[in-house]
Amino acid sequence: MYHFVLKSVLFASILVGSVTLSAQTKSVYKKVIRSDFQTYFEQCHVAGAIAIYNNNEGTWVLSDTMNTQVPTLPASTFKIINMLIALETKTIKDENSIVRWPGSTDTLKYGYRPNIYKDISVKEAFALSAGWAFIEIAKKIDRSVYREFLNACNYGNVDLSESDADFWNFGPMGISPINQVEFLKRLYDGDLPFSKRNMAIVKTVMISENNDDYTIRSKTGWTMANHINTGWWVGYVERKGNVYFFATRLIQDRKFNRPDFSRCRKEITLKALRDLKILP
């Protein structure tokens, strides 16, 4: 089981040296620690971490320097790279490809959601986070292919030893908030081993909010593996000629399960983005 550092902290917004991204990026960036963001996690009675990257300024804003680097299961945020791999391997033609309902799913593991128990397009499965659909897609892709792409994308720890098809929700695979942001930046930059067409399709499917002021491309995630709620919201904001990448992760022992866990993923992130004047 993963261990997380939880402690009460005083307000801090301090420029402290630099943070090095993955060896593949070979670049050094400034970082700002906003330990006051921990208040938002405490209000939701969860442990948590958030990583934000300002593209124009080359600056990281982190809730802490430890938990933002700890890898955990990506849950449904894996749908971003899963869709890219499915497109690149021609497992699916495009976002309108239909995934046939297999007839049943494990409601104990995934909850009871009858609205998604039907033949469904990949685009709708992404928007509704219909996990069964991406499991069916994953069954058609060999693990060696996943390993090749994950290594090429520097995505997580590439531990695919989980025997079930759903290795992003269960098992030892993990990715950190900082690594999530690194991956999203490479997607935005087009610096991934996928065709421009396929990256453009996924970027379009990721749009979760679009107005005259800004666009948010994102994906949520939630797994209950090992009696732990692991929740995510990752993505990026395009606004006023700049891009801000974010990855927020919540951790909660299911003994203390609360009904606001799902809502808190976005609420905490939006509060942090507004504190930074990224969103109005």
Which one, of 203, 134, 207, 142, lies nearest residue 168 by Cα? 134
Catalytic option among 35, 63, 76, 129: 76
Q: Helices 79-88 and 143-152, interaxial angle, to 10°?
A: 110
d(CA 248, CA 235): 9
- Classify residue 57 by burial, with Cβ atoms within 10 Å: 0-12, 13-18, 19+: exposed
Say if residues 225 and 48 touch (Cβ distance below 8 Å).
Answer: no
Nearest partner of 254 among 127, 111, 112, judged by Cα = 111
76 labelled catalytic: yes
Active site residues: 76
